[in-house]
């Protein structure tokens, strides 16, 4: 259980397996990147073969996941939906529909990318066999590049 004076948004993460290995500092950095959303029964969270455009962590409630092959399952508190959103070309592999009223924490692909940069335990849980590679950044000018290098105390990009 988190301290009584913990930030309210951090308390939403309490008891969720994905964040169990995070430090308080990581939780405070990650919590603002996740938006709590109330979901009504029957709402479609993901649709099979659509681009994975969001990352969801179930805080409360249940949903049913099915695929074209007829396989199905349920997701509940602590379940992760759309972790493939980090890959811009990824498509959802299941259709997920809320069975009950739900509360989920939602993040865009860019927010998910930031979360896995900030919290190494989240990265290890979601992507255990893949090291996260930094993206190549195109710098507009040499002056801007030098400024970035100084700012981050780097020798090259």
Dihedral sign (CA 58, 73, 127, 3):
positive
pLDDT value of residue 5: 43
Model pLDDT, residue 127:
83
Per-residue confidence (pLDDT) for residue 2, from 0 to 100: 45
pLDDT over 50 at 53, yes or no:
yes
Sequence ranges of the domains in the chain: 8-151
Our measurement of the distance from residue 117's CA atom to the centroid of its chain's CA atoms, rounded to an integer in Å, reads 11
**For domain 8-151, is the CATH number 2.60.120.10?**
yes
Question: In the prediction, which pLDDT does 144 show?
Answer: 63
Query: What is the average pLDDT across 103-116?
Result: 92
Q: Which residues contact 135 (CB under 8 A, 6 or more apart)?
A: none
Residue 131 tokens, joined: 């090291």
1, pLDDT greater than 50: no
Output the pLDDT for position 118.
94
Say whether pLDDT at 32 is over 90: yes
- For the entire predicted model, the pTM comes to 0.74
Q: Is 82 helix (H, G, I), strand (E, B) or coil?
A: coil
């Amino acid at each position: 259980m988190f301290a009584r004076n913990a930030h309210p948004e951090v308390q939403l993460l309490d008891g969720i397996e994905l964040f169990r290995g995070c430090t308080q500092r990581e939780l405070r950095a990650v919590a603002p990147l996740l938006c709590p959303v109330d979901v009504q029964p029957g709402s479609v969270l993901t649709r099979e073969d659509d681009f994975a455009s969001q990352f969801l962590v179930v805080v409360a409630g249940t949903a049913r996941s099915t695929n074209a092959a007829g396989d199905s399952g349920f997701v509940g508190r602590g379940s992760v939906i759309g972790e493939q959103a980090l890959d811009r070309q990824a498509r959802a592999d299941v259709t997920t529909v809320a069975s009950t009223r739900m509360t989920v924490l939602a993040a865009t692909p860019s927010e998910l990318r930031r979360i896995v940069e900030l919290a190494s335990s989240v990265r290890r849980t979601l992507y255990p066999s893949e090291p996260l590679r930094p993206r190549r950044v195109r710098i507009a000018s040499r002056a801007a590049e030098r400024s970035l290098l100084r700012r981050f105390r780097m020798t090259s990009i």
